[in-house]
Amino acid sequence: MIGVNLGSIDKCGHRFGPAPAAETLRAVEEVSAGLQKVAEALEATRPGNWCMIITADHGMTLVDKGITVGDMIDAATERTGGEVIASLDGGCAYFWSDDATLAALADELRAHPGVDEVIDADDVARRAELRIRHPRIPPLVAIVKESYMFIESEMFMDYTKGSHGACFASDVMVPFIVAGPSAPTAEATAAARSVTDIYGMVESVIGRR
């Protein structure tokens, strides 16, 4: 089994925006042509005995507005004297701090027009729905509205037109292509509902299931 990460589509999507951005479409076409060559090489060297699974770990959404998190963190810490650790992932932002500072920061986030949702530690139902119940998940999570992204500085928007990390269909829908003479049946492929199902499919292809 060989796993390959092809990063050009992701890089172009972030820089130029998702398809139909010309640069991103060109990257898709180039990757497609490369995969065709790989398929031809596999058939030449392992005739009738290969399978290729193509997917992605996220989608991409067009963005044109940034939310500078540092300003809100400064406002919250000035009120409480606390400190905040933050991690930004485009459409999501994660925060760790003491209870008072997190409450102040949650107020700042909820007041911003680009923030769609703020999920604190007490929102057990929403955390269960989003599958973010693990103890390592931070106590405060924020999610953007469409066309926004969390940023450290406004300069990010000068060279970023695509982002992900929220719950939009464009963020979470990914390609799932299974091809080759050793591919599982169409029924087995259609039964896959998540990229996590790929592990079992790979086991089946290589004969361990």
Residue 51 lies in a domain: yes
Residue 1 lies in a domain: no
Residue 107 CA from chain centroid, whole number: 26
Q: Which pLDDT belongs to residue 148?
A: 97
Q: To the nearest whole number, what is the mean pLDDT of the chain?
A: 91
Q: Are residues 96 and 49 in the same domain?
A: no
Q: How many CB atoms lie within 10 A of CB 63?
A: 24
Residue 122 lies in a domain: yes
> Which domain covers residue 51, as residue numbers?
8-59+169-205
Q: Are residues 44 and 74 in the same domain?
A: no
Q: Which pLDDT belongs to residue 207?
A: 67
| Ramachandran quadrant class, 165 (left: phi over 0; alpha: psi -120 to 50; beta: rest) | left
Residue 2 lies in a domain: no
Q: Are residues 72 and 155 in the same domain?
A: yes
Q: Token digits for 34? A: 């490369």
Total domains, the chain: 2
Q: 3-class DSSP state for residue 141?
A: strand
Residue 193 lies in a domain: yes
Q: How confident is the model at residue 78 (pLDDT cuts 50, 70, 90)?
A: very high
Q: Are residues 29 and 76 in the same domain?
A: no
Global pTM reads: 0.84
85 CB burial (10 A radius; 0-12, 13-18, 19+): exposed
Residues 37-57: tens digit of each pLDDT: 999 999 999 999 999 989 898
